[in-house]
Amino acid sequence: MSINPPSLEEQIWALLQEIYDPEIPVNIVDLGLVYGVAVEDTPNGKSAKITMTLTNPACVMGPMLSEMIKSKVNTLPQISDASVEIVWEPVWSKDMISERGRMELGLM
Distance CA 49, CA 82 (A): 6
Q: Identify the DSSP state of 64.
A: H
The number of distinct structural domains making up the chain is 1
- Alpha-carbon gap, residue 4 to 44, rounded angstroms: 26
pLDDT at 81: 94
Cβ neighbours for 1, distance < 8 A, ≥ 6 positions apart: none
86 located within any domain: yes
| pTM listed for this prediction | 0.90
Q: Is residue 107 part of a domain?
A: no
CATH, residue 18: 3.30.300.130
Under a CB-based contact definition with an 8 Å cutoff, are residues 51 and 35 in contact?
yes
99 found inside a domain: no
CB 85 within 8 A of CB 95: no
d(CA 52, CA 29): 9
Domain assignment of residue 51, yes or no: yes
pLDDT tens digit string along 3-43? 888 899 999 999 999 999 888 889 999 999 999 999 999 99
**Rg of the chain, C-alpha, whole Å:** 15
User: Which range marks the domain in which residue 36 is found?
Assistant: 8-91
Does position 2 have pLDDT exceeding 70, yes or no? no
Instruction: Work out the average pLDDT over 56-68.
Output: 92
Does 75 fall in a domain? yes
In a domain, 106, yes or no: no
Residue 96: is its pLDDT beyond 60?
A: yes
